Amino acid sequence: MIHKIKALNDNGNGLSVRAIAKELSISRNTVKKYLRMNEEQIGLGLANRDRPKQLDRYFTYIKHLLETFPELSAVKVMRKLKQKYDNPDIAERTLRRYVAKVRQEVCVAQPRYYQPVLDMVPGQQCQVDPGELRNVMIGGQPQTVYFVVFVLSFSRLMHLSYSLKPINTSDFIRMHDAAFRYFGGQPEELVYDQTKLVVINEKYRELTLNQRMAEYATRAGFAIRACEGYDPESKGKVEAGVKYVKHNALYGESFRDTDELTDYLNHWLDNVANVRIHGTTGQLPMALYNAQERAKMRPYFALKCHDQRMMRKADKTGLISYQSNKYSVPMVWQRQQVMIRPEEGELVILSPESGEEIARHKLNQGTGQILKNKHHYRDISIPVATLEQQVLDQLGDRYGTAICALLKAGAPKIYRDQLNGLLQVVKRLGVPNEQQLQRLCQRPHLSTTQMESLLEAMQVSQASTTNNTKVSTGALKRYHNLTQVGGQHALH
C-alpha cells in the first residue's frame, strides 16, 4: 500500500492526495501521513507495528455510529455494541480510548461539558430544567421532543417527562406532579432558570412569578428559587442532566410511535440513568436516594394539577391563545392579563381582579384559527369622508383640510385612526384658536400625538403669559423641542 501511495504521487508529479485516496479507497490523512515519511521512518514504523487492537473488529460499526451521530458518547457506543454484538467483553476504559482514537480519524469532535459541585443536604433541593431535541425519528418522521428534567441535588436521582408540542404551564405542572410521584415525596425547594414557565420578569433580583406556577408551589408546599439570568452554572446538575438526556437517552434513537418512546424513556430512567455510578457522588443515584434521602423528603399530596381558571396575556392585537387557537378580547384589554375558563363548549374570559365576564367565545375544535368578535375592535363602519367632514366642522374648511392632508401624508395606513384621535383631542382640549391652527399647519409633518402635545404646550404657554408667571412643565419642554428652528428636534 505504501509503495502504491509513493508511486502514484511520483514525488509530487503524479496524482493529488485526494485522487490517491479515492483510487486506493483509503483516508486522505493516511495518504498524507506516508507521503510525509521517508524510507527510514517507514521502515522503523513497520518494524514496531502495534499488535491488532481488540476493538478493531468493531471499527467499521463504531466509525459508522460516529459519522452518523457525531456527538455520541462512549457510554452510548458501548450500549449499541452490546445490543449489536450480544454483549461483547469490552472494558469501558478501553472502549473510551478507542472511541477517542476513532473520532480523530473521522474528524468529529464532542464538546466537553462542565458542571460545578455543590454540597447539599438530603431532601433539600431539586433542580429543574426544560430542554428539547430536534429530528428524533418517531413513526418514520423527524419530530422535536420537548422534555423537562428533574434532578435531586443530593442523590442525583432523576426524573424525565416529555411532550411532542411546546410545553405550557399546565404541562409543566403535570410534569412536576409526575416527578413527585416518581420520587415518592417532594423536596423543600425547586431551582429553575429564567424560563417564562416560572419567572415572568426579574428586576433587581425581584421576581415576578408565573401566577399559576406560584399557586401550585404554594398549594404543594415547596419554595421556588430562580437562578440569575444567564447563569446556568448555578444550576449545573440539571444542566448536565439535560445534556445527558439528549446524548445518552435520545440521540441516535428512533421509535415506532409515542408508546414505544414512553416505554423506552421509562426503561432508560430505571435501568440506565438512576442505576449508573454517578461521576460526582461515586454512587448509584437510586441506591443513595433510598439509603439517605427518601426519608428526608416531604410528603407529597397529589393535587389537581391545573385549575380551570387560567391566566392569559392579550397581545397588541387584542388576542389571547388557548389550545392552539386565538380569541379576541375588548381592545381596552390589549397587552393586559385576563383570566379564562372553559365552560360547556365555550371559552369565558374574565377580569382577573373582579372576576367579571368581559368576553365569551364558542370553542373551536380545530387549530390555528382566529376567532374575533367585531364589537371588540374599533368601529370601522364610519366612512373616512364622514370623519374628514367632522374635522372640517370643528376646525373650519381652510385649516381642517390642511391638517387632514398632513395627517394623511404622514401615516396613510392609519389615517382613519388619526382622524378619530384628532376628534378626541379636540373634544378634550377644545377647538384650537386661529393662531394655534396656523402654527400646526406650518409644520412639515404632523401626527395626532404631536398635535396633542403641541396644543397642550400652547395652552400652558398662553396661561403662563396671561398670568405673567414662569411655568416649567413637561408640556412646555415638549413644545420647545417640537418648535426648534430648522426642525432638527421635530418628531416625524
> pLDDT for 318-354, tens place per residue?
899 988 899 999 877 888 888 888 877 888 888 776 5
Mean pLDDT over residues 272-278, rounded? Answer: 92
One domain for residues 188 and 98: no
Q: Quick check: is 38 in a domain?
A: yes
Which three cell numbers, joined as nine digits, stand for 265?
424513556
One domain for residues 53 and 156: no
Lay out the sheet containing 325-328: strands in order across: 319-322, 325-328, 370-371
Q: Which has more pLDDT, 2 or 51?
A: 2
Residue 388 has pLDDT above 50, yes or no: yes
Mean pLDDT over residues 42-48, rounded? Answer: 62
Give φ, ψ of 37 to 5 degrees.
-90, 140
Residue 1 has pLDDT above 90, yes or no: no
One domain for residues 99 and 151: no
Of 360, 376, 392, which closes a domain? 376
Helix axes 384-395, 415-429, angle to 10 degrees: 30
SS3 (DSSP) at 138: strand
The rounded percent of the chain whose pLDDT value lies above 90 is 25
**Minimum mean pLDDT range among 45-59, 454-468, 476-490:** 476-490
Maximum mean pLDDT: which of 253-262, 307-316, 464-473? 253-262
Rounded CA separation 84/213 (Å): 45
Q: Quick check: is 492 in a domain?
A: no
Of 336, 351, 376, which closes a domain? 376
One domain for residues 146 and 221: yes
**Which residues on neighbouring strands pair with residue 419, listed in sequence order?**
none
pLDDT at 365: 81
Q: Quick check: is 119 in a domain?
A: no
Count of domains observed in the chain: 4
Residue 181 to residues 132, 302, 333, 453: CA-CA distances in angstroms? 23, 8, 39, 60
pLDDT at 159: 95
One domain for residues 429 and 359: no
One domain for residues 400 and 429: yes
pLDDT at 353: 60
Of 106, 137, 155, which closes a domain? 106
Given CA atoms 198, 188, 288, 175 in this order, what sign does their dihedral have?
negative
Task: Classify strands 189-192 and 223-226 as parallel, antiparallel or unpaired.
Answer: parallel
pLDDT at 137: 94
One domain for residues 187 and 282: yes
Mean pLDDT over residues 441-465, rounded? Answer: 85
Residue 368 has pLDDT above 90, yes or no: no
pTM recorded for the entire structure: 0.45
Determine the distance from the C-alpha atom of residue 144 to the mean position of all C-alpha atoms in its chain, rounded to a whole number. Answer: 13
SS3 (DSSP) at 376: helix
Residue 421 has pLDDT above 80, yes or no: yes
Q: Quick check: is 403 in a domain?
A: yes
One domain for residues 40 and 77: yes
Q: Of all helices (H) and strands (E), which one includes residue 344? A: none
- When the pLDDT of each residue in the chain is averaged and rounded to a whole number, the result is 80
Q: Quick check: is 111 in a domain?
A: no
Nearest to 254 by CA among 106, 129, 99, 145: 145
The whole domain housing 266 covers 125-296
One domain for residues 436 and 364: no
- Burial (Cβ within 10 Å: 0-12, 13-18, ≥19) of residue 32: middle
Give φ, ψ of 134 to 5 degrees.
-90, 165
CATH number, residue 273: 3.30.420.10
pLDDT at 303: 56
pLDDT at 45: 60
Which three cell numbers, joined as nine digits, stand for 470?
414662569
One domain for residues 245 and 350: no
Q: Quick check: is 34 in a domain?
A: yes
- What are the tens digits of pLDDT across the range 175-211? 999 999 999 999 988 988 878 888 887 765 567 888 8
SS3 (DSSP) at 217: helix
One domain for residues 155 and 280: yes
Maximum mean pLDDT: which of 18-22, 107-111, 155-159, 225-229? 155-159
Q: Quick check: is 337 in a domain?
A: yes
Q: Quick check: is 166 in a domain?
A: yes
Residue 267 to residues 133, 262, 488: CA-CA distances in angstroms? 19, 9, 70
One domain for residues 464 and 417: yes
- What are the tens digits of pLDDT across the range 115-153? 333 446 688 889 998 999 999 999 999 999 999 999 998
Q: Of all helices (H) and strands (E), which one includes residue 367? A: none
**Minimum mean pLDDT range among 104-108, 215-219, 341-345:** 104-108
Task: Classify strands 206-209 and 199-203 as parallel, antiparallel or unpaired.
Answer: antiparallel
